[in-house]
Amino acid sequence: MKNWWKILCVLLLFYTLIAGFLMPIPALPILNESIRNLYFHVTMWFGMIIHMIVSMVYSIKYLSKNDLRKDVIAEQFAITGMVFGIAGLLTGMIWAKNTWGAYWVNDTKLNGAAAAMLIYAAYFILRGSTDEESKRARISAVYLVFAFPLMLVFIYVLPRMTDSLHPGNGGNPAFGKYDLDNNMRLVFYPAIIAWSLLGVWISTIRVRIKNLWKQAEE
């Protein structure tokens, strides 16, 4: 049973979808039924961060070992991370429209997420600009390792210093404190695992495809 985690992923995804839409939720003003978006919006950020960390770790590994397979992993995880980030932004925008009244509000967390997307877009542009494989791998790994801590400052430090509309920041109570009852936790935590596993699954398949392409070229 080498693939137990893939089965787990599919089961948990079904659970997330079914329970996420059907399980009871606390009746809250403004949020109403939209609180169910918690299982689809917040979980995207967990998935994104996991992918970005993996991508950075493999960039460091590439720099120390000079092994091009590490670079392939770093690149593919960055791509999936960016897909998760865009999905997080989109689900967040729909939620924001229905609760805050606009698709985009000037909020530190939104700006941080958008900046993270910009950094990864720059990373892919940098990758596309050089043809030589080892050079491309080294330069982009250096850029990613350089940009990642600055991005973390943007995503984790700045929102804690300024006001934000998000719960848990700037005087707004955290979700966990009042809103998230135990019924929601029963879905929320498995949902995080499910989406993250799905992302890892996609990335590993992409890595294998990329490696096969490279073999075919040789």
Residues found near other proteins in the complex (CB under 8 A): 63, 111, 115, 118-119, 121-122, 125-126, 129-130, 135, 138-139, 141-143, 145-147, 149-151, 153-154, 157-158, 161-162
- Report the distance separating Cα 143 and Cα 161, nearest Å: 27
CB 6 within 8 A of CB 201: yes
- Report the distance separating Cα 48 and Cα 79, nearest Å: 10
- Report the distance separating Cα 48 and Cα 53, nearest Å: 9
Concatenated DSSP letters of 35-75:
GGGHHHHHHHHHHHHHHHHHHHHHHHHHHHH--HHHHHHHH
Residue (40 or 154) nearer to other proteins, CB: 154
Residue 127 C-beta: closest distance to other proteins, Å? 10
Residue (162 or 183) nearer to other proteins, CB: 162
Residue 72 C-beta: closest distance to other proteins, Å? 18
Residue 63 C-beta: closest distance to other proteins, Å? 5
- Report the distance separating Cα 100 and Cα 94, nearest Å: 10
Residue 161 C-beta: closest distance to other proteins, Å? 7
Residue 93 tokens read as 């925008």
Residue (13 or 139) nearer to other proteins, CB: 139
Residue (52 or 119) nearer to other proteins, CB: 119
Residue 172 tokens read as 């707004």
C-alpha distances in Å from residue 129, one per residue of 33, 121, 132, 137, 217: 46, 13, 10, 11, 20
Residue (134 or 183) nearer to other proteins, CB: 134
Residue (130 or 211) nearer to other proteins, CB: 130
Residue 59 C-beta: closest distance to other proteins, Å? 10
Residue 216 C-beta: closest distance to other proteins, Å? 27
